[in-house]
Structure 1
């Protein structure tokens, strides 16, 4: 993986979905807010000062226009973003003490009509893939093709962000996400993701295995902090930043964006790639990401 992304602009391409979350207020009223893990990552990256392009498709409805406004306001480049006459996919959030569950309305939407942008990868030092677009057809085929190309030409960052829904085949979805993780140079999983993707193992076991194969692997544990696993059986952990939690929606995406922003801005990816990071560099990235995620958790939705 040495030399990946060298000689390219310090820019990130984010591929995936921009959908709309319907989040309940205290009185149960559902309030729409722009969402989708990749769109969240793109917006946060741009706000953190990283040149970012979003390769998704926006619907021709009020939700799609609101998603576009959010991305543009953050400073995300949309020249690779498609437009469609179809509506925007919806995710109905159901927050609870164990996290947030979602009920999805995905079919026949613009959100998963993605275009192949593999011929544009030379413009970017880092490519992000993950989210629902990685498992919902027809987007899933495009995401996989782009990820395969990016694995050879750029630094590929993967966040499987495992989701379950009655319209998704769990076996096929998990198989696709495991393939994406195997392609990635940077892989971020939550402890819940790890248990679903590799049942029967502790969350740390697959992280160590992936890192031993030459990756930077990030494991988040919510209030219990996060860890980074590097080749050579090296790993570091940092605690979560204490915060009065208002909502955890988007915190994992903010964490991922912050790690990427820190690595891009610091220039450490220009050397031997993410696997060449030192423990100290990985710890610095984790601490920065923990602070950004805590800020998201402490804000009202």
Structure 2
């Protein structure tokens, strides 16, 4: 490794194909292709904030893979763990945007019959780091699930804390699924080993209700044997959190403009990990500001703020 990362972000890097507001990205034009994928978004967000970070994932030997390689180099993300696939393409996700900026993932494009590169992620040795940031999407395919679980077991042996952003997306498990469908019993069972090992769990309110029948971070913490830190987000409603023995709520900051909410949760996660050594309330407040600022531009990566921009924004809203 060229650097010793504070965070290793493992999982998908892909294209978010944003449809015109109110339109269908599969047929309506113009579309706006943006580099994305939750772990890639978090990695780029951390790097822009100034945290040393590595990305572990798999991309095609295609223009999308090349674009990510250039992006990671530009941001300073370590890519020793980035795999390239000569058979499978990088994934394109079709994103339907409402006129108010809210989005819904509705399917994929680019599959040539062999699936997508991220589905074929292979296990690889991980460096020692403070955090391994993961989501649940690699669990949807056997090969990538095996690579994810290998990384989790390595992290445990290395003393690396696991941060889990649940990020439930039913279409990754079944391309024909309703984008609003809840997890199946099989998906819930697959997620449980991650929930039981994570030191930090971030989840949306609906995910909390599906997984724990509660949206109370304190109750979720007590429901798991390792008593993790828990953050529950709820769109524009306040973030609720339980970090160790401390708990609270943080109202959502209103960004100056809302262009697209894609990547807001990932910017929040990046801000949270970046400020982890700060007091709990300050961590959450900084993270909330990161999430708000990324809504001011299209896609989940380009509008990500630098630390000084976040500090300036917090100074204005104080």
Fold shared per TM-score above 0.5: yes
In structure 2, the residue matched to 1:216 is 229
What's the secondary structure of 1:162's corresponding residue? coil
1:42-89 deviation line (CA, Å, top 9, x unaligned): 111111111111110121111222222222221111011111112111
> How many residue pairs were aligned?
275
CA-CA distance at 1:248 after TM superposition: 0.9
Take 1:9 and 1:296, find their aligned partners in 2: how far apart are those partners? 27
Take 2:5 and 2:17, find their aligned partners in 1: how far apart are those partners? 34
Aligned pairs for 1:63-212 (under 5 A) are: 63-85=64-86, 86-96=88-98, 99-105=102-108, 108-117=115-124, 119-122=125-128, 124-152=129-157, 153-165=159-171, 166-167=174-175, 170-198=184-212, 200-204=213-217, 206-210=219-223
Take 1:212 and 1:141, find their aligned partners in 2: how far apart are those partners? 23
Take 2:43 and 2:68, find their aligned partners in 1: how far apart are those partners? 12
CA-CA distance at 1:192 after TM superposition: 2.3
1:99-118 deviation line (CA, Å, top 9, x unaligned): 4221333762112222223x
Q: TM-score, normalised by structure 1?
A: 0.83
Take 2:91 and 2:142, find their aligned partners in 1: how far apart are those partners? 13
Take 1:253 and 1:212, find their aligned partners in 2: how far apart are those partners? 26
Contact 1:17 1:111 in 2 (8 A): yes
Take 1:246 and 1:203, find their aligned partners in 2: how far apart are those partners? 30
CA-CA distance at 1:212 after TM superposition: 7.7
Structure-2 change in CA distance of 1:283 and 1:210 (3 Å): farther
RMSD, matched Cα: 2.5
The answer to which structure has the higher helix fraction is 1
Contact 1:241 1:291 in 2 (8 A): yes
In structure 2, the residue matched to 1:258 is 271
Contact 1:151 1:185 in 2 (8 A): no
Structure-2 change in CA distance of 1:300 and 1:109 (3 Å): closer
In structure 2, the residue matched to 1:55 is 56
Contact 1:38 1:131 in 2 (8 A): no
Q: TM-score, normalised by structure 2?
A: 0.79
Task: Give structure 1 stretches of 5+ with no counterpart.
Answer: 1-7, 269-280
Take 1:260 and 1:292, find their aligned partners in 2: how far apart are those partners? 12
Contact 1:37 1:131 in 2 (8 A): no
Say which is worse superposed, 221-230 or 206-215, in terms of deviation.
206-215
Verify: 1:23 aligned to 2:26, yes or no.
no
